[in-house]
Homo-oligomer: A and B are copies of this chain.
Amino acid sequence: MTKTPQDTLQSLGYRVTGPRKAILKVLGPLPLSVREISQKLDDSASYINEASIYRSLGLFIRMGVVQEFDFGDGTKRYEKASDHHHHLICDNCGYIEDVRLKDEKDLFQYLGKKTMFRINRHALEFFGLCNQCSQLNEGVK
């Protein structure tokens, strides 16, 4: 059977606490802001301080069980980690939909045909190491 986030916490020597369990329970496949996570926790009658939510999310990200997204609106969003994917975000209502591309090079072709979304714009940036830095880091683990 597969390893749960809680198993991962334990196996790495981190404590399985109430707040951490509650946050993991509230996280889903779609990205949530900390405000939304906090709201959901309140709703389920388990208030958790926002600073603690940030700290837990940071840990989960380092452990690889949570993924962080930035849609450029000044708020980071978090979801349970899954395979590489992107999102369709409605500028009007905030509705968010996952996009999984079998083959990323057919990207725009695929989207144009398969989605019911009217895509107005996309944010695409690449991160890595430039030629120079790449050589400096040669052999560095």
Contact = CB atoms under 8 A, between A and B. Distances in A.
Contacts of A130: 88, 90, 92-93, 95, 97, 116-117
B118 A99 contact: no
A71 interface: yes
Contacts of A72: 70, 72, 125
Interface residues of A, number: 43
B93 A128 contact: no
Interface in A87-109: 87-93, 95, 97, 99, 104-109
Contact of A133 (B95, B99, B128): B95
Nearest to A106: B105
B134 A129 contact: no
Interface of A: 69-72, 86-93, 95, 97, 99, 104-109, 111, 116-134, 136-137
